[in-house]
């Protein structure tokens, strides 16, 4: 009986108060959640780390979970058990998620069955943990909000991270001219290997002039912006007529001149995967699963951390000098 009881606990990261990375506490006595109807329990092999998880943890984000909570949404692993009415999955299936209900920084996670997808054998669990938020966000930014069309040009600003590389791969597969920026030589090479036609170093003081020389007087049709508090003012100078900036990431305020939008009838559009409707999520999922099957959707895994080093992961995702793929926790 004692042995049976100990099996019902797991290691999981818990947040008891909002604050810096130090509030992430790894506990070894967290109860394993039980899937209810239309839910599944996943034995987690890898979990993606997203910048938004650091904002939520700090308490500065619009959405605040009830304390204590376990962060993490993109997990990849194996179905451990299923709740009532779940017919799409069975114990032993390899899967990845878009979000979890109990938190992904843990050995086991519960997710709604309609937020779980089969993980193709050609992808490993680390890659599986790099699909959910990045690819669904990139697809939403490009097509559902940005109305991208084949033949248009897109500049992915900060293209070497998880969302950026996803945007490069999707845009290239869908017939767009893809330009990307990164902060390091290595990052630029990663971008070029993953769909970008041209890469620019955004640490180069003249990089915007280089982009203008590349796009010509027409400008760029769509900008996928990961750091709008730094780049938005410049972005407006790079746009074409009726061009649009898709705000995917922001870490503070910025001053812009609205006249810059009038001269080109350009748009600044915020993107939040959290606000996607059920139909929109289904559309994203269809595109993503098709991309995996076709072979152009290949998640790039960057830095990897054990669960014990979760605080370091949260520090590095905000302070690192240049991303090279999706950051993941390994269990």
| Model confidence pLDDT, tens digit, residues 198-212 | 999 999 999 999 999
What is the phi-psi region of residue 96: left when phi exceeds 0, alpha when psi lies from -120 to 50, beta otherwise?
beta
- CA-nearest of 173, 182, 177 to 197 is 177
Common-topology check for domains 9-130+299-330 and 134-274: no
- CA-nearest of 307, 308, 313 to 331 is 307
Distance CA 184, CA 88 (A): 43
Average pLDDT over residues 16-31: 98
Residue 21 has a pLDDT of 98
Backbone angles phi, psi at 272, to 5 degrees: -140, 115
- Domain segments of the chain as ranges: 9-130+299-330, 134-274
Question: How confident is the model over 62-102, as pLDDT tens digits?
Answer: 889 999 999 999 999 999 999 999 999 999 999 999 999 99
Q: Please check whether residue 56 is in contact with residue 63, taking contact to mean a CB–CB distance below 8 angstroms.
A: yes
Question: How confident is the model over 129-146, as pLDDT tens digits?
Answer: 999 999 999 999 999 999
Distance CA 158, CA 209 (A): 17
Average pLDDT, the chain: 95
Average pLDDT over residues 288-311: 97
Distance CA 287, CA 185 (A): 31
The CATH code belonging to domain 134-274 is 3.40.50.720
Residue 147: pLDDT above 70? Answer: yes
Distance, C-alpha 189 to centroid of its chain: 20
- CA-nearest of 159, 70, 145 to 108 is 70
> Under CATH, which architecture does the 9-130+299-330 domain have?
Alpha-Beta Complex (3.90)
Question: How confident is the model over 228-282, as pLDDT tens digits?
Answer: 999 999 999 999 999 999 999 998 999 999 999 999 999 999 999 999 999 999 9
């Amino acid at each position: 009986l004692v042995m049976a009881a100990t099996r019902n606990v797991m290691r999981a990261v818990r947040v008891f108060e909002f604050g810096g990375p130090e509030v992430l506490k790894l506990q070894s006595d967290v109860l394993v959640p039980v899937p209810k109807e239309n839910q599944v329990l996943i034995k987690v092999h890898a979990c993606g780390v997203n910048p938004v998880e650091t904002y939520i943890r700090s308490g500065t984000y619009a959405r605040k979970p009830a304390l204590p909570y376990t962060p993490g949404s993109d997990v990849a692993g194996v179905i451990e058990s299923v709740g009532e009415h779940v017919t799409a999955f069975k114990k032993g299936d390899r899967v990845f998620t878009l979000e979890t209900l109990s938190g992904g920084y843990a050995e086991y996670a519960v997710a709604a069955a309609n937020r779980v997808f089969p993980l193709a054998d050609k992808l490993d669990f680390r890659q599986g943990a790099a699909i959910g938020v990045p690819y669904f966000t990139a697809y939403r930014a490009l097509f559902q909000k940005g109305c991208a069309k084949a033949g248009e040009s897109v500049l992915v600003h900060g293209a070497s991270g998880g969302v950026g590389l996803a945007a490069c791969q999707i845009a290239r597969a869908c017939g767009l001219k893809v330009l990307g920026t990164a902060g390091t030589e290595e990052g630029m090479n990663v971008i070029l290997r993953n769909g970008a036609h041209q890469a620019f170093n955004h640490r180069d003081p003249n990089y915007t002039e280089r982009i203008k020389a590349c796009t010509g007087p027409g400008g760029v049709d769509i900008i996928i912006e990961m750091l709008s508090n730094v780049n938005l003012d410049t972005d407006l100078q790079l746009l074409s007529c009726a061009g649009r900036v898709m705000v995917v990431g922001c870490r503070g305020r910025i001053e812009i001149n609205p006249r810059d939008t009038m001269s080109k009838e350009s748009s600044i559009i915020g993107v939040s995967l959290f606000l996607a409707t059920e139909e929109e999520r289904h559309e994203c999922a269809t595109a993503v699963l098709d991309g995996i099957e076709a072979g152009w959707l290949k998640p790039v895994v960057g830095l990897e951390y054990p669960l014990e080093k979760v605080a370091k992961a949260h520090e590095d995702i905000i302070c690192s000098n240049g991303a090279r793929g999706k950051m993941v926790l390994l269990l």
